[in-house]
Amino acid sequence: MGVGWGVAVVVVLAAALSGCSTLSERRDQVRGAVTAFERALADGEFERACAELAPGTAEELEQSVRRPCGKALREESLPPGGAVRLVDVYSNQARAVLTKDTLFLSRFSEGWKVVAAGCRPRSDMPYQCRIKGG
């Protein structure tokens, strides 16, 4: 065990730490997207909330009720989700568990977007979501 081994350990440790900061940054970005979505809903700014939705999710919402996204989102009457309690990030996918809701997000070139909202866990089954992409 010479100097080469010590350098290898330092390189591996530095790589691991930089990976953690990247994960931490992604969690913060997800929290920011969730907060922007929730704040827009709370303010009644449904067009602004629609801008936080993934394109496929906004399209599915519009098609399901045959109304523009903002009007469709208003009609969904999602209750406030509350504070973010937990954020899990898996590559380009994330789950944000709020006090009263769970949101799922994906990372796009313009940032993290909500792909499902109004989600409730079901035992031994996937989440049931009121708003979701197709």
Return the pLDDT at 134: 66
Q: What is the pLDDT at residue 125?
A: 86
DSSP letter assigned to residue 114: E
CB-side neighbour CA atoms (13 Å) of 32? 9
Fold of 3-132: Nuclear Transport Factor 2; Chain: A, (3.10.450)
Tokens of 113: 């977007």
The domains of the chain are located at: 3-132
Which pairs count as long-range contacts for 117-120, CB under 8 Å and 24+ apart, including other chains?
Answer: 117/37, 117/78, 117/81, 118/76, 118/78
Q: Which residues contact 127 (CB under 8 A, 6 or more apart)?
A: 102, 104, 116, 119, 120, 121
Predicted pLDDT at 65: 87
**Tokens matching residue 21:** 């900061």
Which residues of the chain carry a pLDDT beneath 70?
A: 1-21, 134
Q: What is the pLDDT of residue 131?
A: 94
Dist. CA 28–CA 107, nearest whole Å: 13
- Yes or no: say if 110 and 57 are a contact pair by the CB < 8 Å rule: no
CA atoms within 13 A on the CB side of 104: 17
User: Global pTM?
Assistant: 0.81
Count of residues for the chain? 134
